[in-house]
Amino acid sequence: MKNRQWSSQKKLQIVLEGLQGKLSISELCNRYEIHQSLYYKWRDKVLASSPMIFENEPDKKVERLESKVKQLTQLVGQLTIELKKTEKELEWLES
């Protein structure tokens, strides 16, 4: 078997072909000239990380919340500046 590097996309393609079951794993490995142990290593990695594919929605929620926190922090900053200006104006009027 040849020693070469595979792109992530190609590894995924090979694993998906294997999961389809149209070819036996040995035939698939012979076609791509890889060891079966390498195929199973890639397959296990794909299967282990596949649940994360569906976790994108919480990430969007986190992004929305972070955006809201940033917006509110800016508002607090603006209000603090206005309050300090008002306090100085009151001090000036009282003196």
> Is 47 contained in some domain?
yes
Percentage of the chain modeled with pLDDT above 70: 94
* 15 pLDDT above the threshold of 90: yes
Segments forming the whole domain that contains residue 16 = 8-94
Number of domains in the chain: 1
Segment 72-81, tens digit of pLDDT = 999 999 999 9
Are 43 and 19 a contacting pair, CB within 8 Å? yes
Report the predicted TM-score, pTM, of the whole model to 2 decimal places.
0.56
Q: Please, what is the average pLDDT of the chain?
A: 90
pLDDT digits (tens, 9 = 90+) for 36-73: 999 999 999 999 988 887 776 667 788 889 999 999 99
| In-domain check, residue 2 | no
**Nearest one of 52, 51, 42 to 19, comparing CA atoms:** 42
> Whole-angstrom Cα distance, residue 46 to residue 69?
35
Residue 7 clears pLDDT 80, i.e. is over it: yes
Pair of tokens at residue 76? 């607090």
